[in-house]
Amino acid sequence: MIAERGPAPACDPAGAPGDRLRPPGDAGVGRRWRALRVGRTNGSRAGGARASGRAGRQPARAYTVSALERYAGCPFQYFASHALGLEVERASEQTMTPEQRGLFLHRVFESFFRDWQRAGRGAVTLATLDAALERFEAAAEDALGALPPIDRAVARGWLLGSAASPGLAERVFVAEIERQTGVVERLLEYRIDGRFELGSPPARRTVAIRGVVDRIDLHADRTLRVIDYKASRPPDPSRALQLPVYARCAERQLRAERGEHFRVTEALYVAFGDPRLQVSVPGGDVAAAIAEGEARVVALVEAIEAGEYPPRPVDRLRCMTCSFPTVCRKEHVEDA
């Protein structure tokens, strides 16, 4: 089920630019949308303005990276969520959803690293590993108390481990020790908010980007490492934008804030559901990943602002888990 949470667009993306919709809150909007879907004739399946998914030119706006990734996955999903302002009405569940597990992990690790840094600690080393595990356990127990009883024992074993296997905390700390890089400061939940020049000439433009980087490690040699936490596995690198875009934006924003240049040398996912745990950008070539990510962002923003919102998922499986089947003209997928 879906609920309207924001203003509706001025026109139907599956119709011509002249197909005006009524103002938000008018019950006629729903009737109009339904009539456009149901009244579509077989003869219009081949295309035309009414079947093209065009909404007309859109104004520039600030974009989150997750919104751009959603557009890349399916332009119509982006339209439903960010233009129509629809959201999923989540059914109450007795156990944590994958999204809730991810937020829980973020909260526990952020709490630990913030406390660790406040105590004057830098990188976790072999000499400080036991102290780190002890401090992490305290942070975890505080967070575990807020979980439903059905989740608490499982989450405790997941985070802290047992006599038979290490928990996530120990795996993360050991991985950090193995790739020691002289961390002098950690920026946790670092907020990106600004206008950034992205892309290369002639496809270069200013894009307003906002978002939150899970963690940035600043090193003594004036380099930085961008880290994104994932509750399960890292995303498909051919579609993911967070690491390269956040890396570029963080590099430039830190220079403006601090008056000193930190060069990005590493960008990786800490993927708690992946046996590798730490997964870098493909090939480890951060510069190439950043350049490619910038180019993709520029192309996506151009398409969004051109009002191109066809129901064209990057793969058909995406339709099976889509939150917006009642407003999507899925039949267009077969015509695309």
Domain co-membership, 163 together with 265: no
Domain co-membership, 231 together with 256: yes
Q: What is the pLDDT of residue 34?
A: 59
- Taking the C-alpha atoms of residue 296 and residue 173, their distance in angstroms, rounded to an integer, is 34
Q: What is the pLDDT of residue 32?
A: 58
Q: What is the pLDDT of residue 30?
A: 52
Domain co-membership, 280 together with 229: yes
Name 171's Cβ contacts closer than 8 Å, sequence gap at least 6: 277
User: Residue 71: which domain range?
Assistant: 2-90+308-335
> Within 10 Å of residue 90's Cβ, how many Cβ atoms?
11
Name 179's Cβ contacts closer than 8 Å, sequence gap at least 6: 278
Q: What total of structural domains would you count in the chain? A: 3
Domain co-membership, 151 together with 231: no
Domain co-membership, 187 together with 244: yes
Domain co-membership, 255 together with 218: yes
Domain co-membership, 197 together with 165: no
Average pLDDT per block of 10 residues along the chain, 336 residues long: 40 40 45 58 47 79 94 92 76 67 88 92 90 94 87 88 86 84 88 95 93 93 92 84 95 94 92 86 86 95 94 86 80 52
Q: What is the pLDDT of residue 326?
A: 81
Domain co-membership, 162 together with 216: no
Of the residues 132, 147, 178, which one is the last residue of a structural domain? 178
Provide, for the chain, the percentages of residues in helix, strand and coil under a 3-state DSSP scheme, each rounded to the nearest 5. Answer: 45, 20, 35
Domain co-membership, 153 together with 189: no
Domain co-membership, 52 together with 102: no
Of the residues 159, 178, 197, which one is the last residue of a structural domain? 178
- Taking the C-alpha atoms of residue 290 and residue 277, their distance in angstroms, rounded to an integer, is 22
Q: What is the pLDDT of residue 322?
A: 85
Domain co-membership, 300 together with 325: no
Q: What is the pLDDT of residue 88?
A: 65
Domain co-membership, 234 together with 250: yes
Of the residues 178, 202, 229, which one is the last residue of a structural domain? 178
